[in-house]
Amino acid sequence: MIAMRWSLKPEPNKEKIEKLAKELQVDTTIAKILYQRNITTFSEAKLFFRPSLHDIHDPFLMKDMDLAVARINKAITNHENILVYGDYDVDGTTAVSLVASYLRTLSSTIATYIPDRYGEGYGISYAGIDFADDNNFSLIIALDCGIKAIDKVAYAAEKKIDFIICDHHKPGKEIPKAIAVLNPKREDCNYPFDELCGCGVGFKLIQALGTVRNQTIEDFVSYLDLVATAIAADIVPMNGENRVLAHYGLQVINTNPRNGIKALVHQTKKKELTITDVVFIIAPRINAAGRMKHGNYAVELLTEMDFDAAVSFAADIEIFNADRKDLDKKITDEALIQIIDHNEEERFTSVVYKEDWHKGVIGIVASRLIEKYYRPTLVFTKNGDKLAASARSVKGFDVYNALLACSEFIEQFGGHKYAAGLTLLPENYSKFKDKFEEVVSKTIDKKLLTPEITIDAEIDLSEITPKLFRIIAQMAPFGPQNMKPIFKTSCVRDNGYGKKVGADETHLKLNVFQGDNKQTFGAIGFGLGDKLEEAQNDFDIVYTLDENTWNGHKSIQLVLKDLK
C-alpha cells in the first residue's frame, strides 16, 4: 500500500471563526469548515445550506446567448433540420440528450449525432459535418466541444451549415466564427459563474429558449437529472450554480428521473443515490456505451420515452459495462507485469504500451496504475498507423506542460493539467518515453509522488455528535471545492476486536475509543487491511463521517482514510 502524507488545512482567523459560529449557532469546527470553503457570512451560509432555484443565473448574461436563441427560433419557424452534436463521454451524451429532448417539444426536425470514438475521435469531425450536409441539416448545435474547431466551423460554413457552440473547455487565442459561441470561460464573457460543465451550458441554452416562451425555471427542473449526472461525472467544482443544479438534480434522480436513468438505477437496486453513487454507478454505465460500442446507445437510453425500451437499452449497457470492467482488469494486470519485467518500479513515470490494448479503456487503466505507482502515467495502444495514449497525472503536477516539453516526438496532443490524450509515430515511442521520464524527473516536486490527505480539522471523538453529523450531511452534494470534510483524531485505541474483513481480507474493521471516554465508534477502512498491526496500540486516524444501518439501527461510522 502507498504511504500517505497528511496535511492540515491552515487555521483561519480565530476571532472570525468564533463570530461566524455565533451568528450561525454552530460549533467552531463547523464554522472553520465553512470558512475554508469561503463561506464567511450568514447570507453566504444560507445560500450554501438552502440552495434555491432563484439562485440560478439569468442565461442571457452569457455572451452570444441572444444570438443563439434568435438563430434556433428562426430554424424552428422555417422548419430547418437541426443536428444536436456532442462528445461521446457522460458530459457530451447527457448534453445532447438534454438539448435534443427539449427541442423536440418545439420541432419535429431534430436529430442527434455522436462521433465515433475510434473512427472520428474527440470533438467536431469533418465526417459529422459531411453527414449534416448529406442529410440537409442547416444548423448544428455542438455541445461539450467545438471551442477550438476553427477549421471545422469554416468547413461547415462553406457548405452553408451554421454552427452554435456550447462548450466549457478553455478557449484558444481565436474563437471559431460560429453564429454563437456560448462558453463562460471566454475572456469577453461576463457570466457570473465560469465552472459549468458542457451539459450545464446546454441547460442555460434551453433555459433561455424557455424564457422567451414564458417558461420559468420550475419548468426545467425535470431536466436536472441529466445536469447533475454530468456535474458529478465531469468533476467540475461543486460550488456556486453547479451546487444548486446538482442539489435539485439529485432530488429528480431520487424521485422522478427520466426513463433511462430510472432503468439504470433499477438495475442497481439502490433506494436513494448520493452524488458519489452517480459518479460510481450511473456515470460509468453511460460512459461504457462510448468506450465499448458507440455513444449513440447512451443518447438513445437517455431520450427513450418508453420505460420497457429503456430497460432493454440499460440491459445492453450493463453488458458493455461488464465487458469494460473485464478488459480494464486484464489490461491493468498486463501493464503492471510490463512495469515489473522492465524493472521500472523506481522510475518517476509509468509509460506502457501494447498494440492490442482497447483504446476505450486506456484512460481508466492509467488511473489504475496511479493507484499502484503514484506517478504521472501514460498508457499507449496502436491506433491505425500511429500510437495513441491516455495520460493521467498526480495531484499538483501539470502533465500537459510535461507533454509540451516532449512535443518534438508527439504528432498531436490535447487536454489539461491532470488528463490528456496524444498520438505519436511508432518509431518515436522509445525516444518519447525516455524524454518524458527525463522531463518529469527534473520538474516534479518529489513530495508530489506521495499522495496527500488534506485534513479539514483535528477533533476529539467526544465532539462527534448527531448534530455535527446532521450539519455535515447538509453540506452535500460533495465534490471539488466542497469535498466531504476529513477529520483527524490523535491517540485512539481499538477495543481489541479489530479484524480484517472482505472476501480477500483487504478491508479493516475497528471499534475505536479515545482516552478515558469509553464511547466507541465503529470504523471501516477500505483497502486498509494491512494496517491491522498498527492498530494494536495507540494510533492516529484520519476519516470522514458516514451513517451505518445495521438491523434497522442507525449509528455514526468513521470511514478511515489512513491510520498511523
pLDDT at 1 over 80: no
**Distance from chain centroid for Cα 64:** 27
pLDDT at 161 over 90: yes
pLDDT at 187 over 80: yes
The beta strand positions in 134-243, using DSSP E, are 137-143, 162-166, 180-182
C-alpha cell at position 466:
448527531
Architecture per CATH, domain 5-50+453-563, reads as Beta Barrel (2.40)
pLDDT at 408 over 80: yes
- Give the pairing type, strands 539-550 and 487-494: antiparallel
Which of these ranges, 101-115, 296-310, 372-386, 412-426, has the smallest mean pLDDT?
A: 412-426
The pLDDT confidence band at residue 269, using thresholds 50, 70 and 90, is confident
Q: Angle 307-341/259-268 helices, nearest 10 degrees? A: 60
For residue 536, count CB atoms less than 10 angstroms from its CB and return exposed for 0-12, middle for 13-18, buried for 19 or more. exposed
pTM: 0.92
CATH number of 342-449: 3.10.310.30
What are the beta bridge partners of residue 181? 165
What is the per-residue pLDDT across 191-239, written as a single tens digit (0 to 9) for each?
999 999 999 999 999 999 999 999 999 999 999 999 999 999 988 999 9
Which of these ranges, 79-93, 281-295, 336-350, 364-378, has the smallest mean pLDDT?
A: 281-295
For residue 308, count CB atoms less than 10 angstroms from its CB and return exposed for 0-12, middle for 13-18, buried for 19 or more. exposed
In this predicted structure, what is the pLDDT of residue 91?
Answer: 95
CATH number of 59-318: 3.90.1640.30
What are the beta bridge partners of residue 387? 382, 424
pLDDT at 267 over 80: no
The chain-wide mean pLDDT, for the chain, equals 94
Mean pLDDT of 482-503: 95
Torsion, Cα 271 246 302 127, to 10 degrees, reads -150
What is the per-residue pLDDT across 454-471, written as a single tens digit (0 to 9) for each?
999 999 999 999 999 999
Torsion angles phi and psi, residue 242, rounded to 5: -60, -40
Distance CA(211)–CA(58), nearest Å, equals 9
Distance CA(218)–CA(210), nearest Å, equals 11
The pLDDT confidence band at residue 270, using thresholds 50, 70 and 90, is confident
What is the per-residue pLDDT across 21-77, written as a single tens digit (0 to 9) for each?
999 999 999 999 999 999 999 999 999 999 999 999 999 999 999 999 999 999 999
Closest CA to 258 of 111, 101, 107, 96: 101
Q: Residue ranges per domain, the chain? A: 5-50+453-563, 59-318, 342-449
What are the beta bridge partners of residue 558? 523, 545
pLDDT at 415 over 80: no
The pLDDT confidence band at residue 385, using thresholds 50, 70 and 90, is very high
Distance CA(383)–CA(426), nearest Å, equals 10
For residue 207, count CB atoms less than 10 angstroms from its CB and return exposed for 0-12, middle for 13-18, buried for 19 or more. buried
Distance CA(289)–CA(299), nearest Å, equals 9
- Given a contact cutoff of 8 angstroms between Cβ atoms, the answer to whether 485 and 464 are in contact is no
What is the per-residue pLDDT across 321-353, written as a single tens digit (0 to 9) for each?
999 999 999 999 999 999 999 999 999 999 999
- How many helices and strands, by DSSP H and E, does the chain display? 19, 19
In this predicted structure, what is the pLDDT of residue 172?
Answer: 84
Q: Angle 224-234/240-255 helices, nearest 10 degrees? A: 120
